[in-house]
A and B are shown apart, each in its own frame.
Chain A
Amino acid sequence: MAAADSPSAALRRRDLCSRGIRLAGKMRSDVVDLLDTYVERQGLDASASVAAVEGVPAAAVERWDEQTGTQRLLENLAAYRAFRVLLSQMLEEHREQLGEADAALGRALASVLLQVSAFAYHLEELLRLESRGPPSEEGAPPPPAPHLGLFERKLRGLGVLRELAQWAVRSTRDLRQLTKPSLGSGLAPSRAESP
């Protein structure tokens, strides 16, 4: 823990957070554009309500302001690892369904997938800085894509992208909290929270 609090570690953390905020901002902007393209190309109604999609991490959180820095990083990392899998599945389904017929949508999906991967790596770096290290991804393979009809798959994709756009905003806010010099932004859990 002492290493995590050293001045150089604090500077590195601040730098990673600042870059992470810029990454998240760009990612959000691209996801919003992708959403517009996706809705149009898939023939969906932009205002359609999509029920909570199984396996998609919800950005919604209660008592957000009370979270510790560690909680923020861990929840973000879990989310973006899940989105990496989900977007890969979407990309594969898109290629199977349309092949090269809609290359623009495929490229946009691939670009966002790349940014999600980069952001996940960024979060892993922040957790390594904490000397805690990111949780391992080894073990159980990612769950297979559910067998859904074409329309259900389109709606699921809409739900994935909407939730990702929400996460991008949440991540920006989370990283800003980490840069705050107050106690609440400390990455290490407070004494009260220690087991």
Chain B
Amino acid sequence: DSHIQYERVGADVTMKCGSMDWDAAVTWTANGTDIDESHLNGSYLILKNVDLTHSGQYSCYEGSSWHLKYQTYLGVGTPPKEPVLMCRSNNYPKGFYCSWHLPTPTYIPNFFNISVIHGMREMVCEKDIFPKNRCHIKYLQLFSTVKYKVTLTVTNALGKNSTTLTFDEFAIVKPDPPESVVAKPVPNNPRRLEVSWQNPSSWPDPESFPLKFFLRYRPLILDQWQHVELSDGTSHTITDAYAGKEYIIQVAAKDNDIGTWSDWSVAVHATPWTEEPKHLTTEAQVTETTSASTSSFMPPPTTKICDKGAVVGSGAVAVCWTAGLVLAAYGVLFI
């Protein structure tokens, strides 16, 4: 006949060997290992100031016959602290869910009981299979000014504790983040990025309960985000991106009228379109090859880069002169 007992950390525990007399000769084991006689007071097992390592199966055997006389599982733990409770509606207007956890483990089994009261009505919170510390409630009424009161009680063999949340229907509405965020460069547009996303799949009726969105973006090299709020649509074109810089982009969602913003979506990265670099001409490559023996670096000739046929406009000459000066200075640095 096996028993279970739970004791607090730090307690002194005395185990009797079933109906055996105090002066009977017995042997105690813990998880199959003999316990030293120094822990015995007659046939009683004395465990002082127990800690978590004392948890286990304890068995008592009659002295010479080794008949099992008593067996118990000892669980050492603590009474529960005040649980942490959260309620949220990510599928408005269908319903909401509440989830909970203990701030510190008790190391022994706990039982949770949740009650939901709306006005005079007690509502049923259906336990989810996964995760197991969660339950969901269907809204029976919408647009109510009466608050919901949710009380979670946690009980174990060593004590109980509870917490209560009171909230309005609108206050807990928080969608899941937008899904399938995609950011793409726009061909021939070095400062644009096209971003698109989808409504979170958990939001049941975006047509009747439209979401608005908040987009944030920044180049990886900077810490400062830029933000754009969008009241409709699931796409946006960024038009002020720094050319050639990789960007990180995220989107958040909120019901158009009530509740709070979702968490940020998974971040996506994108770099605006850049022009393909022009290749050097064959003559320039020959010039470099013949000069290789006299110096380690020769600036490329300016004539071909500033070929008037290639540069259009009245400023072509000034541009060529400037380019030549820059290249010459660059060459000096490497001699």
A residues neighboring B (CB under 8 Å): 25, 28, 49, 58-62, 64-65, 162-163, 166-167, 169-170, 172-173, 176-177, 180
Contact = CB atoms under 8 A, between A and B. Distances in A.
B28 interface: no
Given A25-B257, A28-B257, A64-B93, A170 B207 contact: no
B145 A58 contact: yes
Contacts of B93: 64-65
A49 B147 contact: yes
Interface residues of B, number: 16
Nearest to A171: B143
B81 to A, nearest CB: 26
Nearest to A50: B145
Given A28-B257, A64-B93, A173 B209 contact: yes
Contacts of B207: 176, 180
By CB atoms of chain B within 10 A, which of A65, A162, A167 has the most? A65
B141 A62 contact: yes
Interface secondary structure of B, over-half rule: loop
Contacts of B210: 176
B141 A61 contact: yes
B143 A61 contact: yes
A21 B244 CA distance: 43
7 contacts: A59-B143, A60-B142, A162-B145, A166-B145, A167-B143, A170-B143, A176-B207
A64 B147 CA distance: 18
A58 B140 CA distance: 15
A62 B257 contact: no
B144 A59 contact: yes
Nearest to B210: A176
Interface of B: 93, 140-147, 170, 207-210, 257-258
Contacts of A28: 257
B142 A64 contact: yes
A167 B144 CA distance: 9
A60 B257 contact: no
A180 B206 CA distance: 12
Contacts of A49: 147
A49 B146 CA distance: 8
A177 B208 contact: yes
Given A25-B257, A64-B93, A170 B208 contact: no
Contacts of A60: 141-146
Contact of B143 (A169, A176, A177, A180): A169
Contacts of A61: 141-143
Across the A-B interface, the 3 shortest Cβ-Cβ residue pairs: A60-B144, A59-B143, A170-B143
A28 B258 CA distance: 11
B141 A180 contact: no
Given A169-B257, A173-B209, A176-B208, A59 B145 contact: yes
Nearest to B146: A60
Contacts of B145: 58-60, 162-163, 166
Nearest to B257: A169
A172 B93 CA distance: 14
A174 to B, nearest CB: 10
Nearest to A162: B145
Contacts of A176: 207-210
Contact of A64 (B143, B146, B170, B258): B143
A177 B209 CA distance: 9
Contacts of A169: 143, 170, 257-258
Contacts of B144: 58-60, 166
Contacts of A58: 144-145
Contacts of B140: 62
Given A60-B141, A62-B141, A173-B209, 11 more contacts: A58-B145, A59-B144, A59-B145, A60-B144, A65-B93, A169-B257, A170-B142, A173-B208, A176-B209, A180-B207, A180-B208
